[in-house]
Amino acid sequence: MGKRERLSGNEAVAIALRQINPDVFPAFPITPSTEIPQYFASYVANGQVDTEFIPVESEHSSMSAAIGAEAAGARALTATSSCGLAFMWEELYIAASNRLPLALALVNRALSGPININCDHSDSMGARDAGWIQMYAENNQEAYDNMVQAYRIAEHKDVRLPIMICQDGFITSHAVENIELLDDADVKNFVGEYEPETYLLNPECPAAVGPYSITDYYFEAKRNQAEGMRHVPQVVLDVAKEFAAVSGREYGLFEAYRMDDADRAVVIIGSAAGTTKDAIDALREKGEKVGMIKIRLYRPFPADEIAGALGKVKAVAIMDRAEGYTNHGGSLGADVMAALFRARSQALAVNYIYGLGGRDVRVTDMEHVYAELQKIIDNDDAGETYRFMGIRE
């Protein structure tokens, strides 16, 4: 039986990690992810886990230590935010290219500058093409559930890639919500023990991790890495199905909210999806056919599935909580528009930049987006496709 609790997103993730009991957790504090290693350090001190908890001198070192531990055959992870992730940049590529299925609890925060400690997705979007699996949470429950499923996805024999479990800084990381925790034994049985096929401390199978790769081999190594990523969506679905049997909570690659007959839709990532649901429910009561696609798995990007889910809409607004500086929108906008183009969709699409540096997202803001989509349908013209929401011009 699950247990009802009131927890912040950070504490929920820390509890998931306690239940998983990883082998090694190197950590360096940075707001707003600091509470995750802080809570976990108390579990270590209280003897609730037997994890090797390593305070290090920087985020670069925390990822380096996690890579070394994973390469040696241990189940490893770390946590960070914002500039901490940027400081790990070099190591992110190394973890992915070496096919090391370690985990990173990322609490999304704006990158400097100007200096800001609040939520947007500029940190993880900057790392979107580093070769990591990226999963995002709308709320505290989903942050907990995603972390419980993380290692089952990353360690799968057809994947073997690092995974980034993302939640919105302060909005979910520090806000307290009612959530349901699984029993410790259920999590332990679900996640299982880590049994790598090859690792540095295995005397029966000598191996090298991260050797110099000359021109004759580098391309094939990257192709092999891409093959692992190709298997991720099906593994995510398979693991989610098993998780539903244990928890009663169902997940997919994304959530389609009230999309069955929608002629207008929003595509969004993270906590603002909850606000959007409130706007949808209010507009539905007025008879408006509106819906939402909330992205859970962003890397690899489920392009065909999202294009299929948007197949009946007439207009769509794609919401980016990070500026792409391309003069035509953000990363999610580019991905969704490319998917629609390949699917030969007739939907008129616009891309909004919103919520940067923690800017509030209100129900009225999202209602306005749907109103603008109706204008686009009425005029049969998307107009300016690169827009901003909630900004003082």
Residue identified by tokens 């370690």 is: 102
Rounded to whole angstroms, how far apart are CA atoms 280 and 259?
10
Q: Is the pLDDT of residue 344 over 70?
A: yes
Q: Sorting pLDDT into bands at 50, 70 and 90, what band is 145? A: very high
Note whether 390 and 361 are within 8 A (CB): yes
Rounded to whole angstroms, how far apart are CA atoms 358 and 118?
5
Q: Sorting pLDDT into bands at 50, 70 and 90, what band is 319? A: very high
Closest CA to 358 of 106, 116, 80: 116
Report DSSP letters for 241-286, one per residue. Answer: HHHHHHHS----SEEEES-TT-SEEEEEESTHHHHHHHHHHHHHHT
Residue percentage of the chain with pLDDT more than 70? 100
For the chain, how big is the Rg over CA atoms in Å? 21
pLDDT given at position 2: 79
Topology, domain 3-247: Rossmann fold (3.40.50)
What are the φ and ψ backbone dihedral angles of 263, each rounded to 5 degrees?
-105, -10
pLDDT given at position 393: 83
Q: Is the pLDDT of residue 281 over 80?
A: yes
- pLDDT for 349-375, tens place per residue? 999 999 999 999 999 999 999 999 999
Rounded to whole angstroms, how far apart are CA atoms 87 and 64?
11
For the chain, domain boundaries: 3-247, 254-388
Q: Is the pLDDT of residue 384 over 60?
A: yes
Domain 254-388 matching CATH 3.40.50.11540: the answer reads: no
What are the φ and ψ backbone dihedral angles of 81, each rounded to 5 degrees?
-150, 155
Closest CA to 248 of 174, 145, 340, 150: 145
CA distances from 156 to 13, 90, 150, 176, 276 (A): 21, 24, 10, 32, 34
Rounded to whole angstroms, how far apart are CA atoms 339 and 345?
9
- pLDDT for 22-52, tens place per residue? 999 999 999 999 999 999 999 999 999 999 9
Average pLDDT score over the chain: 97
pTM for the structure as a whole: 0.97
pLDDT given at position 318: 98
pLDDT given at position 383: 97
Rounded to whole angstroms, how far apart are CA atoms 382 and 350?
7
pLDDT given at position 143: 98
Q: Which helix (H) or strand (E) holds 296?
A: none
Q: Is the pLDDT of residue 1 over 80?
A: no
Note whether 120 and 321 are within 8 A (CB): yes
| Strand partners for 111 | none
What are the φ and ψ backbone dihedral angles of 322, each rounded to 5 degrees?
-160, 140
